[in-house]
Chains A and B, each alone.
Chain A
Amino acid sequence: MSKELPGLFTVSALACAALFAAPQASAAGAPIKIGVIAEAQAVAGSSIGPAAQLAADEINAKGGIDGRKVEIVVYDDHSSAAEAVRAFQRAVTEDKVNAVIASYVSEVVLALEPWAARLKTVMITPGAASDVITQNIAKDYERNKYTFHGYLTSSALAGLVCDAAKDLLVGPYKMKSAVIVSEDAAWTTPLDAAYEKCLPAVGLKVLDHIRFSPDTTDFTPIFSKVEGLKPDVMITGISHVGTQPTVQWKSQQVPIPMFGISSQATNSNFWKDTNGATDGVLFNAVSGPGVAVTPRTLPFVEAYQKRYGNQPAYSGYTAYDEVYMIAEAVQRAGSTDSDKLVSAMEKTDHIGTIGHIAFLPKGDPHVHGLKTGAGFITGLMLQWQDGKQLNMWPKPLANGTMKFPAFIKLSAR
């Protein structure tokens, strides 16, 4: 009878309330708001928010920037580009952030790049290696200048791996050949292309180049193929997978060492995750336990450990630096206006936790990417040994010597 009507109106009223009860736009002005979009469930992504908060709190404890406090607003994008786009839109139009630190996943960053351009908001990424990010900026500077690539590009990473290989493998072990093993993903396309150029240049002949689906769970056929080619080393490019290939490498006792990029190996929990199978794996990182890349590195790690109870992932280091960089840029520009912020960010000259940070200028094919090489960012080459990550390279920062598990056959001549 008339029982449905009140129910109908109640539901409609509730719906209206939910729709109209949009959060009030925060008053423009006082705090400097930085939006942080990250994948909270992924080990690499879970450090981004907390590290940013740590930086903000430190800045605020010293009085903020010209009296303004730094405020961090965190969004979980569930490793989804669509959700990240929604979060970005919310951050800029609703929560009125002045800048965004977003994601270590290339797919997500590439989906956000056009939105940073459309909404004219500075965005800097603490991870993500795809070269396309900076290529897009070079292609259309005026539109895409709001994006900054706060991590090493794939081609830069490849260069650093090759440099390390020359000092660690070709020199002492006289290695002559390599097989590139990488996951079929956007970030590995430029990585592998760069590997194919720089490996022969340092003395490692590339025998083959194997790309596997990132959904692979059974790596037996891949290792079998690699072994058949008889290289001295496997040069890796893996990020989406890590635990499984490493565990299977050990359980199958593949006699060829792994050297290169293995993002998951940078996590302090990786030893436990693989039940120790990662012993002997060599991997690139921008930070390592106990390695004082700069005077700021170890204090950051200590503070993070004290506050959150665990070690930060690599993206935590970069996110921490980026909050400082944004704050300094705001101070330099004297305002949070996006265009002025872009010019100020381009003048970044910051000693961060991963090294001396500066951006490549307009006109460079990797504009707004990090400057790499001596005096800037070189990265490290770490190796897991007996439950610890020890640094092998560059020599001045090394705190260990290379050791391989018994099943590895090295052709040491």
Chain B
Amino acid sequence: MLVWQILIDGFAISALYALGATGFTLIFGVSGVLNLSHGAIMVASAVAAWAIAGSLHAGAYASALGGMAVGVVLAFATYFIAVRPIQRSRRIAEAEKEIFILTTTLLWGIILQEAVAYFFTSNAKTVLPIVEGVVRVLGVRTPSNEFFTALICWVAIGLLWLLVNKTRHGKEVLAASMNPRGVTLLGIELSRIHIAVWLVYGVLASLAGVLLGMFLGVSSYSVGPLTASAFSIVVLGGLGSVSGSLVAAYVVGYLETLTAYLISPAYRTIPALLLLVVVMYLRPQGLFGRR
């Protein structure tokens, strides 16, 4: 029984981590940006969904979509306020741009976090679940929501793969991540690509946020840990490698679940941290990263 419980619970959590991490690594791979407001966008999307459900009495679907819309808007705002001005600035040396973007996205994340806490209090919120009830699978009583979450995450990831590998627009984005100059030589405007990437990122991050809100609930306190977790997973998997992020997400997700069930819920995050330390010593570029 316990084995199946761990397998199922771990799968759902890992799928959520994977979705969040994929968006994070996509932005890094194409834009070269480590978006430290990632957690804030996720939480803001979830809280928006909760707020829409509460004040407009919208159904579960409508609130979820509304929350995602808010998330996409915020992702664009992140790009236009915190990222693009620095990337285009002539007053900052190229080598320094990275840390400036880190600082601005960090500040932007704090602004979003504080805004959420100010308008909605720092209490945890849960999003109206689209799927309710429990199912018995292999003798384990599991909320249907967990299966729904895992399903949606993988559908989203699958769609992303299709987009990047099979569509023309997607291939442009992939090419841009490898060689921005080359792409411009082909007559494709880079700025269009950036907008496309941030749009995709917004959808992924807000979806992850809303699903997290349905599954476990979020609060303004979740912002920091969510960003740190995405960051850790992405670096563990190898920056810029989407498949690396997926694998790493499952490694971390299962490590946490196993620890929580078999050792103690209080020590949940520790093995993953220790793994990171080991990987940093032995293989600093991550599991699938290129040096």
Q: How far is the CA of A249 from the CA of B213 in the complex (A)?
A: 15
Interface size in chain B (residues, C-beta < 8 A): 35
Q: How far is the CA of A212 from the CA of B266 in the complex (A)?
A: 5
A213: interface (CB < 8 Å): yes
Which of A16-24, A38-46, A110-118 lies at the interface with chain B? Answer: A38-46
B225: interface (CB < 8 Å): yes
Which of B82-90, B104-112, B125-133, B157-165 lies at the interface with chain A? Answer: B125-133
Give the nearest-CB partner of B9 in chain A: A220
A49 to chain B, nearest CB (A): 14
Query: Which of the residues B5, B122, B123, B222 comes within 8 Å of A224, measured between beta carbons?
Result: B5
Q: Is there contact, CB below 8 Å, between B132 and A251?
A: yes
With A221-B260, A248-B216, A272-B54 as known contacts, state yes or no: A42 contacts B123, CB within 8 Å: yes
Q: Is there contact, CB below 8 Å, between B265 and A210?
A: yes
Chain B positions 211-230 with a Cβ under 8 Å from a chain A Cβ: 216-217, 219, 222, 225
- What are the residues of chain A within 8 A of B117 when measuring CB–CB? 41
Q: Is there contact, CB below 8 Å, between A41 and B118?
A: yes
Chain B positions 268-286 with a Cβ under 8 Å from a chain A Cβ: 268-269
Count, A-B residue pairs, CB within 8 A: 88
Query: Which of the residues A79, A213, A264, A275 comes within 8 Å of B265, measured between beta carbons?
Result: A213
Query: Which of the residues A42, A213, A218 comes within 8 Å of B122, measured between beta carbons?
Result: A42
With A213-B265, A221-B265, A224-B261 as known contacts, state yes or no: A275 contacts B134, CB within 8 Å: no
A189 to chain B, nearest CB (A): 13
- What are the residues of chain B within 8 A of A268 when measuring CB–CB? none
B188: interface (CB < 8 Å): no
Chain B positions 197-250 with a Cβ under 8 Å from a chain A Cβ: 216-217, 219, 222, 225
A10: interface (CB < 8 Å): no
Q: How far is the CA of A242 from the CA of B141 in the complex (A)?
A: 23
- Apart from A41-B121, A224-B2, A252-B134, list 5 A-B contacts with CB within 8 A: A41-B118, A210-B265, A213-B267, A225-B261, A244-B124
A211: interface (CB < 8 Å): yes
- The 5 sampled A-B contact pairs (Cβ below 8 Å) are A41-B122, A42-B122, A217-B216, A243-B219, A248-B217
Chain A positions 186-227 with a Cβ under 8 Å from a chain B Cβ: 210-213, 215-218, 220-222, 224-225
Q: Is there contact, CB below 8 Å, between A243 and B217?
A: yes
Q: Is there contact, CB below 8 Å, between A253 and B121?
A: no
- What are the residues of chain A within 8 A of B13 when measuring CB–CB? 218
A351: interface (CB < 8 Å): no
- What are the residues of chain A within 8 A of B143 when measuring CB–CB? 251-253
Q: How far is the CA of A90 from the CA of B54 in the complex (A)?
A: 39
Chain B residues in the interface with A (C-beta under 8 A): 2, 5, 9, 13, 53-54, 117-118, 121-126, 128-129, 132, 134, 141-143, 145, 216-217, 219, 222, 225, 257, 260-261, 265-269
With A211-B266, A217-B222, A222-B265 as known contacts, state yes or no: A273 contacts B123, CB within 8 Å: yes
- What are the residues of chain B within 8 A of A222 when measuring CB–CB? 260, 265
Q: Is there contact, CB below 8 Å, between A243 and B121?
A: no
A241: interface (CB < 8 Å): yes
CB-based closest 5 A-B pairs: A243-B124, A221-B260, A212-B265, A244-B217, A251-B143
Q: Is there contact, CB below 8 Å, between B126 and A275?
A: yes
- What are the residues of chain A within 8 A of B124 when measuring CB–CB? 241-244, 273
- What are the residues of chain A within 8 A of B261 when measuring CB–CB? 221, 224-225
- What are the residues of chain B within 8 A of A65 when measuring CB–CB? none
With A241-B124, A244-B124, A244-B217 as known contacts, state yes or no: A251 contacts B129, CB within 8 Å: yes
B107 to chain A, nearest CB (A): 17
Query: Which of the residues B53, B123, B125, B266 comes within 8 Å of A184, measured between beta carbons?
Result: B266
